[in-house]
Amino acid sequence: MNSPLNLMSPPAIVRRESVLDTKAIQALDSAHYMHPFTDHQDLATRGSRVITKADGIYVWDSEGNKILDAMSGLWCVSAGYGRTELAQAAYQQMMELPFYNSFFQTTNVPATQLAAKLSTLAKPVGDRRFDHVFFSSSGSESNDTNVRMVRRYWDLLDQPQRKVIISRKNAYHGSTMAGASLGGMSGMHAQGDLPIPNITHIEQPYFFENALPGETEQAFGVRAAGWLEEKILEVGPEKVAAFIGEPVQGAGGVIIPPDSYWPEIQRIVDKYGILLVSDEVICAFGRLGYWFAYEKFGYKPDLVTFAKAVTSGYIPLGGVMVGNRVAKVLIEKGGEFNHGYTYSGHPVACAVALANIALMERENLVGRVRTDVGPYLAEKFKTLAGHPLVGVAETCGFTAGLVLVKNKATQELFAEDLGVGMVCRRHCFANGLIMRAVGDRMIIAPPLTMTHAQIDEMVALITRCLDLTYAELKDKELLG
Ligand code: PXG
């Protein structure tokens, strides 16, 4: 027999500090690696930035540049980089049970414990409780699961004609056929005959672009929710299965709805009896200061999508919190639900998620967003709103967006083809800061571990990059 393993002592990590041949990696990358959402001819001419290591809130590239990652990887690394206990949890679980499936009446300990833990974190609201979880490995897969569950639910209730799912323009719900169809990204729909049938979209609740002159935010929120009712009536209420929305639209540019929006959406879905799906792939696990963001906005979803920060991005995991309204029907009337993934309830991913949640609880990462670093970031963004290039600067929890404008007094926007957001993003990278550009909306979603001093450092970098962008635009006589 092999000698017993000391499960608590993973082998020492050998740090690969040797100098990397960046050009060689870039050549291999360009020749063989097809990247997501990438123009490969463009990539080949410019070469990829090779990220080689990370610690805390910083990443390093192969040229040794240290970069403050204000996007947490891609909205994922909420606990920050270099957390030994997450690596330890993965190592230990890999040695104990690296994989077993959850089909055929089997289960594993971490998946079971995580499901139970998530059920306690997803607070009951009104008559909705979340006693059940369905696991996948990503946000996209989870939204495919939602489509399957929503349609199965209505079939089981003898209303098979209820198939239409209403979503919003500029929403992001993933990149599988169902995810991309639910999303409202016109560039994605233009490739591959999307959306698939029975998915339709309404306008987004974006005050800055869609409000009428003189309209208050509160009035706009109610009017924007009203677009859902108009669509329900247009489709025919008897055909509508569900509405899906992100609490705050992330990839769409951190679009924060007015407070009046979600309660009015709730009123409308209740009126027509349709299911409400809250896609919290970005917003859950503390990003908005709550474990789940429906709590912040006070609505009652039937299904809640999660992924990303459930493991702080250390390993892929996603899933759906299944509310009692849907779970009861699926379980009591449904028999076998013919849906699932090889990696549903992957023991290593679930073990990392349990360790990540324990870490978040111990460091109060969720609470500090609500009462400490969230308000501090909001205060700092108020000062950024005064910058001559900034039209609006707004935050929600620990995510934020600002709009670059040609003329501050009139709030006139730049022509789209100027790509001003990308100009700003270039200055960010060159100055050691990762910030996302969505059109001319610059957005951040930093690790929830940030200290006040690190927030100051980030805001100083943002200011510097705005100054540099402003100077470049002024030189080119592009300001209004
Ligand atoms: N729903 C939401 C709300 C998301 O933000 C997905 C689903 C899909 O998750 P997966 O794990 O399948 O990627 C997401 C993902 C961006 C960006 O540019 C955002 C995401 C993914 C890629 C890029 O901001 N969000």
Closest ligand 1 atom to the C-alpha of 174? Answer: 8
The confidence score (pLDDT) of residue 398 equals 98
Please report, rounded to a whole number, the percentage of residues in the chain having pLDDT higher than 90. Answer: 95
Instruction: State the distance from the centre of ligand 1 to the C-alpha of 174, rounded, in angstroms.
Output: 5
Q: How many Å lie between the centroid of ligand 1 and the Cα of residue 410?
A: 33
Inter-axis angle of helices 84-96 and 347-362, to 10 degrees?
Answer: 150
Range of lowest pLDDT (2-11, 235-244, 349-358) = 2-11
Query: 16: pLDDT confidence band, cut at 50, 70 and 90?
Result: low
Please name each of the domains of the chain with its CATH number: 49-79+368-475 (3.90.1150.10), 88-362 (3.40.640.10)
- Rounded to the nearest whole angstrom, what is the distance from the C-alpha of residue 136 to the centroid of ligand 1? 14
Which of 78, 281, 422 most suits a substitution to test ligand 1, by most atoms within 8 Å of the C-beta? 281
Beta carbons within 8 Å of 475's beta carbon, 6+ residues apart: none
Tell me the CB-side half-sphere exposure of residue 454, using CA atoms within 13 A.
Answer: 16
Neighbours of 73 (CB within 10 A): 20
458 alpha carbon to ligand 1 midpoint, in Å?
Answer: 24
Distance from the alpha carbon of residue 130 to the mean position of ligand 1, in angstroms:
23
| 62 ligand 1 Cβ < 6 A | no
Per DSSP, the residues of 304-352 read: EEE-GGGGTTSS--EEEEE-HHHHHHHHHH--------TTTT-HHHHHH
| CA 74 to ligand 1 centroid distance, Å | 8
Give the mean model confidence (pLDDT) for residues 186-193: 95
First to last CA, the chain: 77
Nearest CA to ligand 1 atom 9: 139
Ligand 1 centroid to Cα of residue 280, in Å, is 10
Q: Is the pLDDT of residue 446 over 60?
A: yes
Q: Is 80 exceeded by the pLDDT of residue 340?
A: yes
Among protein residues, the one whose CA lies closest to atom 1 of ligand 1 = 173
Give per-residue pLDDT as tens, 374-389.
Answer: 999 999 999 999 999 9
Which residue lies with its CA nearest to atom 19 of ligand 1?
251
pLDDT at 192 (0 to 100): 87
Strands 390-396 and 399-404 turn out to be: antiparallel
Residue 3 has a pLDDT of 45
Note if the bond before 195 is cis, omega within 30 degrees.
yes
- The candidate with the shortest Cα–Cα distance to 466, out of 379, 378, 374, 383, is 383
Q: How far from chain centre, in Å, is Cα 140? A: 11
The whole-angstrom separation of Cα 379 and Cα 50 is: 34
Pocket lining: 185 vs ligand 1, CB cutoff 6 Å: no
**pLDDT tens for residues 134-181?**
999 999 999 999 999 999 999 999 999 999 999 999 999 999 999 999
Calculate how far, in angstroms, residue 170's C-alpha sits from the geometric centre of ligand 1. Answer: 12
CA distance 377 to 387: 16
- Could you tell me if the CB of 281 is within 6 A of ligand 1? yes
* Tokens (6 digits) for 46: 């410019």
Q: Give residue 198's Cα distance to chain centre.
A: 24
Tens digit of pLDDT for each residue in 311-326? 999 999 999 999 999 9
Look at residue 5 and tell me whether its pLDDT is greater than 60: no
Which of the two residues, 10 and 93, has the higher pLDDT score? 93
Determine the atom of ligand 1 nearest the C-alpha atom of 316.
11
CA separation, residue 345 to residues 57, 108, 130, 191, 324 (Å): 29, 8, 17, 32, 20
Q: How many angstroms is it from 138 CA to the middle of ligand 1?
A: 9
How far, in Å, is the centroid of ligand 1 from the Cα of 319? 13
Torsion 46-401-381-470 (CA) sign: positive
| pTM for the predicted model, two decimal places | 0.96
CB 174 less than 6 A from any atom of ligand 1? yes
In sequence order, what are the beta bridge partners of 441? 403, 438
Report the separation in Å between the CA atom of 139 and the middle of ligand 1, taken as the mean of its atom positions. Answer: 7
Q: What is the average per-residue pLDDT within 342-358?
A: 98
Distance from the alpha carbon of residue 182 to the mean position of ligand 1, in angstroms: 12
Q: Buried b / exposed e across 186-197, counting CB within 10 Å, b at 16+? A: eebbeeeebbee
- Say if residue 6's pLDDT is above 90: no
Residue closest by Cα to atom 17 of ligand 1: 251
The answer to whether 389 and 468 have CB atoms below 8 angstroms apart is no
Ligand 1 touching residue 130 (CB < 6 A): no
The percent helix, strand, coil of the chain (3-state, each to 5) is 45, 15, 40
Q: One-letter amino acid identity for 225?
A: A
Pick from 426, 404, 425: which is nearest to 416 by CA? 404
Coil/strand/helix, residue 196 = coil
441 in ligand 1 pocket by Cβ < 6 Å?
Answer: no
Beta strands in 49-155 (DSSP E): 51-55, 58-61, 66-69, 132-136
Q: Is the CB of 219 under 6 A from ligand 1?
A: no
- Residues in CB range of 287: below 8 A, 6 or more apart: 75, 78, 293, 309, 369, 397, 398, 399, 445, 448
Would the CB of 462 count as within 6 Å of ligand 1?
no
254 contacts 288 by C-beta, under 8 angstroms: no
Q: Which of 140, 172, 248 to mutate to test the pocket of ligand 1 (most atoms within 8 A of CB)?
A: 172
Which numbered atom of ligand 1 lies nearest the CA of 141? 12
pLDDT at site 18: 56
- pLDDT above 80 for 14: no
Which letter does DSSP use for residue 443 in this model?
Answer: E
Rg, C-alpha atoms of the chain: 23
Task: Give all strands (DSSP E) within 189-331, no chain letters.
Answer: 199-202, 240-245, 275-279, 303-306, 318-322
**Ligand 1 and 319: CB distance under 6 A:** no
For residue 340, give both structure tokens: 């699932």
